[in-house]
Amino acid sequence: MAAQTDKMAVPTDAELLQAQADLWRHTLCYLTPMALRCAVELGIPTAIHGLGGAASPHDLIAALSLPPSKLSFLGRLLYQLATAGVFDTTDAGTTYRLNPISYLLVDGVHIDGDGCQTAIVRVASSRYYVEAAFGLADWFRKDFDGPVPSPFEDLHGATIFDDSMALLDPEMDKLVHEAKASHNHMGIGLVLRQCRDLFQGLESLTDLCGGDGTTARAIVKAYPHIKCTVLDLPKVIDKAPAEGVVKYVAGDIFHVVPPAQAVLIKSVLHLWSDEDCIKILAQCKKAIPPRDAGGKVIVIDIMLSSASGLMLETHHLVDMLKLVMTRGRQRDEKDWSDIFMKAGFSEYKIFKKVGARVVIEVYP
C-alpha cells in the first residue's frame, strides 16, 4: 500500500504571482555570470580602478575604446551587475564604484598573496563548464559500468588538472591551473595572521598540490624557521620559481608524500571521491611523525552546514560545481570525520572558520 502523503494546499493568487517572479529569477540567473564574464573580458573593473575607483558609463566607453553607440547597453550591463552586488552605484546608475567583489577582478592588484580572481570567472563561465552542466539530465539517465565519470569527463573525454585536459584545449588547461592557483592562494595571509597557534612548534611542512609555492613562501616569510616543501605534478613543478626558499618535489599524491612534521592540504580533497581522499590521507599519515612529536595534517576546505544564508548557498553551489566537473564533493562534518578515521587518524579538531572554509587539524 502506498504511503499517504500530505496534500499540498492550493497556492493563493499572491503566492502564485510571487512564485512566477521567483521562477523567472531562477531561470534567468545564468545571465549574471555571463554579464560578469563580459565585464572581465572588457576589463571594466581594471578600467574603473584606473579611473580612481569610480566611473560613469561615459567614462568607461572612452577608457575601453568602445563604440559610443553601445553607451546605453553598457549602462544596462553595469546596472545588472550592481544589482547583483558586483559594483556599487549611486545617482541612479550614473556612477559605478569598485567594491570588495569587483576589487578582486582588477588586473595587477595583489591581495593576500594572489588577489586577482578573473581566471575563476572565465573558467566557471567557459563553454566547457556550461556545456557539461547543460548535459546533466542526459548524464543522470546513463547507467555507467564501473566508476561513474563526472558530466564533464563524460561529455568532453577529459579530466580537469589532468594531461587529457591539455590535449583537449591547452589554453583552457592553462586557465584552469591559473584559476586553481588564485583560488588556493587567496586567504593564506589571513590564516597566517589569525591561526598563529596552527604553526607554533612546527619545524617542517609539506604543502600538498602547492603549485608555484605562493602559499609555502608566505608560510616561510611568516615563520622563517619552518622548512617548506611543495609537492605537485611534474608539469607544475617544472614551472616553479628557483628561489631557494622552498623545496619543490614532483610527484603523485597517491604514491608518496615528502616527510614533514605537518602536511597542508588546502582546497584539494573536494576534487576527489571519498575513496581517493582516504588514499591521499593515508599517504599523508605515513609522511608525518606521531602526534606527541607534533605530527598532524592541516586541512583547509569547505565544510557544509557550517554556514547560513548566502554563504550556505555558496557552499552548495560549489558542491554542484564539483558534481558537474569532478568526482569529488563538498562534505559536512560527519563526512570529514568518516574519511579521517578510515584513513587511520585518531582525532581531529576544527581549528577556525576562515571565510567560506574551515581549518581542521587532523592527528595520527
Q: Which residues are catalytic?
A: 270
Cα angle 125-336-197, degrees, rounded to a multiple of 5? 95
* Pairing mode of beta strands 347-354, 357-363: antiparallel
The rounded distance, in Å, linking the Cα atoms of 327 and 127 is 20
* Contact status, residue 233 vs residue 250, Cβ threshold 8 Å: yes
Q: 177 is written with which cell numbers?
A: 591551473
Return d(Cα 289, Cα 295) in angstroms, integer: 5
How far is Cα of residue 356 from the mean position of the Cα atoms in its chain? 10
- Measured CA to CA, the distance from residue 298 to residue 207 in angstroms comes to 10
d(CA 267, CA 177): 13
Query: For 145, which DSSP code?
Result: S
Taking the C-alpha atoms of residue 183 and residue 211, their distance in angstroms, rounded to an integer, is 11
Give 241's DSSP letter. Answer: -
Distance CA 301, CA 23 (A): 32
CB atoms within 10 A of CB 60: 22
Judged on CB neighbours under 10 Å (0-12, 13-18, 19+), 118 is buried
Q: Is residue 305 classed exposed, middle or buried when 0-12, 13-18 and 19+ CB atoms within 10 A define those classes?
A: exposed
Query: Which helix or strand (DSSP H or E) is residue 264 part of?
Result: strand 262-266
- DSSP label of 209: T
Residue 228 contacts residue 169 (beta carbons within 8 Å) = no
Name the percent of the chain in helix, strand, coil, to the closest 5.
Answer: 50, 15, 35
